[in-house]
Structure 1
Amino acid sequence: MKINKFAIAIFAATVLFSSCKKSPDITSPEKPTQTSNSLYSVWVTTASGSSYLLTADNLMKDTLLTPNNNQGIDITSHLPASFYAIYAYAYEGKYYISNDGTRFSQFEILNSKSWKETNNYAFPGNFYLGKVLKDISTKDEMVVTKTAGVTNKEKNVLEQPIYFMNVNNMTINKTVGVEIPMIKFNPKTPEGKDHNPYIVPTSFTQRGDKLFVGHKYRSNETRQDIIDTAYMYVCDYPSLANGKIIKDGRGGFTAGHWEVQTLSFTDDNNDLYIVTKKTNAATYALLRIKSGETTFDPTYFFDLKDYNVFKNSTAQVQKLGNGKVYISPYVIDPSNKKVIADLRILVGGGESKTTMNFMENGKLYDVFKTDESKWFVYEYDPANNSVKRGAEIDPGITQVYHLNKLK
Structure 2
Amino acid sequence: MNKTFIAILGCLTIGFSFFACSDSPENNGGEIKIPNEYALWITATDGSYILTTNDLMKDTVLSPANNQGVDITGYLPAAFYGVYAYSYGGKYYLSNDGTRFSQFEITDNGQFKEKNNMAFGHSFYIGKVLEYLSTDNEMVFTHTSGKEDRTKNVLKKPIYFMDTNSMTITKELTAEIPFLDYPVYLENGDIDPTTMNVSSMEVRGDKAFFGYYFYNSKWKALSDSMYIYVCDYPGMGNGKVLKDSRGGSIDAHWSIERRSFFDDNKNLYYITAKPNGGKSLIRIKNNETEIDQQYLFDLSDYNFGDGNIVELGNGKTYIAPYVIDAANKKIVADLRILAGGAEPKTTMNFVENGKLYDVFKTDESRWFVYEYDPTTNTMKRGLEIDGGVSWVYHVNKLK
The answer, yes or no, to whether TM exceeds 0.5 is yes
Q: Where does residue 211 of structure 1 map in the other structure? A: 208
Structure 2 CA distance, aligned partners of 1:377 and 1:398?
Answer: 15
Moved more, 226-235 or 83-92: 226-235
What letter matches 1:287 in structure 2? I
2:314 equivalent among 306, 310, 322: 322
Q: Where does residue 304 of structure 2 map in the other structure? A: 309
What letter matches 1:46 in structure 2? A
Report matched runs for 1:154-303 at 5 Å: 154-186=151-183, 188=185, 194-219=191-216, 221-278=217-274, 280-303=275-298
Structure index of larger Rg: 2
Structure 1 CA distance, aligned partners of 2:125 and 2:369?
Answer: 29
Deviations 1:202-256 (A, max 9, x none): 111110010011111111x212222121101101111111011111111111221
Structure 1 CA distance, aligned partners of 2:353 and 2:393?
Answer: 22
8 Å contact kept, 1:346–1:386: yes
SS in 1 for 2:82: helix
8 Å contact kept, 1:135–1:206: no
Where structure 2 has 5 or more consecutive residues not aligned to the other structure, the ranges are 1-33
Inter-CA distance 269–110: structure 2 relative to 1 (3 Å threshold): same
Deviations 1:260-302 (A, max 9, x none): 1121111111111111122x21221100100100000000000
What letter matches 2:57 in structure 1? M
1:72 equivalent among 69, 72, 76: 69
Q: Where does residue 96 of structure 2 map in the other structure? A: 99
What letter matches 1:94 in structure 2? K
Moved more, 188-197 or 207-216: 188-197
Cα deviation, residue 196, structure 1: 2.6
Q: What's the TM-score, normalizing by structure 1?
A: 0.87
Q: What's the TM-score, normalizing by structure 2?
A: 0.89
Q: Where does residue 358 of structure 1 map in the other structure? A: 350
Q: Where does residue 14 of structure 1 map in the other structure? A: none
Structure 2 CA distance, aligned partners of 1:360 and 1:315?
Answer: 18
What letter matches 1:132 in structure 2? V
Cα deviation, residue 259, structure 1: 0.5
Q: How many pairs were matched up?
A: 366
8 Å contact kept, 2:197–2:215: yes
1:41 equivalent among 24, 39, 55: 39
What letter matches 1:344 in structure 2? R
8 Å contact kept, 2:36–2:52: no
Structure 1 CA distance, aligned partners of 2:355 and 2:152?
Answer: 47
Structure 1 CA distance, aligned partners of 2:122 and 2:157?
Answer: 14
8 Å contact kept, 1:38–1:58: no
Among all aligned residue pairs of Structure 1 and Structure 2, give the percentage whose two residues are the same amino acid.
Answer: 54
Where structure 1 has 5 or more consecutive residues not aligned to the other structure, the ranges are 1-35
Inter-CA distance 330–189: structure 2 relative to 1 (3 Å threshold): farther
Cα deviation, residue 52, structure 1: 0.2
Structure 2 CA distance, aligned partners of 1:156 and 1:102?
Answer: 26
